[in-house]
Amino acid sequence: MNPYELAELLRDELVVQLEQSRAGAVQLATVHPGDMVPAYSTCAMAAVRVAAITPQVPGAGCGTPTSWDVTLDLAVNRCYPENDPSRTPDMGVLADLANCGVSDAEAMMRALCVVPDDYTWTPGAWRPVGPQGGVYGGVMQVTVHDLDAPCCP
């Protein structure tokens, strides 16, 4: 399995698990390029991003590493309710959004169980994101160990 295929697998399972989240199903899901998943204005978006591919045993030449560790970010963005910035937000609404974020984090944790048994994995911390630009959510990293190294021709 290559890193992109692993990201697709996690994306698909994340979508399934988010259907059980307090915040509900997502409208859009993707494997995202780049070094971050921006706060798009699309409400209810999930993304998986390949954050790093690291040789397990670094070598000097092509093909020296026998396996790679792949770090992936699982991200969920939700729309923040409209709020007048000149007023204090309703505390009940804030508490509900915090609870929804934790429920999304739990969905991410469940999604990690889809990693094939051939691989070991190390989950990272879930971190809240936002609210920024009307979007809040969270990101969780997972490192999957011992993916096969591509061979040199």
Q: Report the SS3 class of residue 121.
A: strand
Query: Tens of pLDDT along 23-34?
Result: 999 999 999 999
Span 35-54, mean pLDDT?
Answer: 89
| Residue 115 covered by a domain | yes
Helix (H) or strand (E) holding 20: none
pTM of the predicted structure, to 2 decimals: 0.89
| Residue 17 covered by a domain | yes
Query: Tens of pLDDT along 94-150?
Result: 899 999 999 999 999 999 999 999 899 999 999 999 887 788 999 999 999 988 766
| Residue 153 covered by a domain | no
Return the DSSP state at 104: H
Question: Could you give the CA distance from residue 18 to residue 84 in angstroms, rounded to a whole number?
Answer: 29
| Residue 47 covered by a domain | yes
> In which domain, by residue range, is 84 found?
3-148
Q: Using CB atoms within 10 A of its CB, is residue 150 exposed (0-12), middle (13-18) or buried (19+)?
A: exposed
pLDDT of residue 81: 80
Question: Could you give the CA distance from residue 136 to residue 92 in angstroms, rounded to a whole number?
Answer: 16
Domain count of the fold of the chain: 1
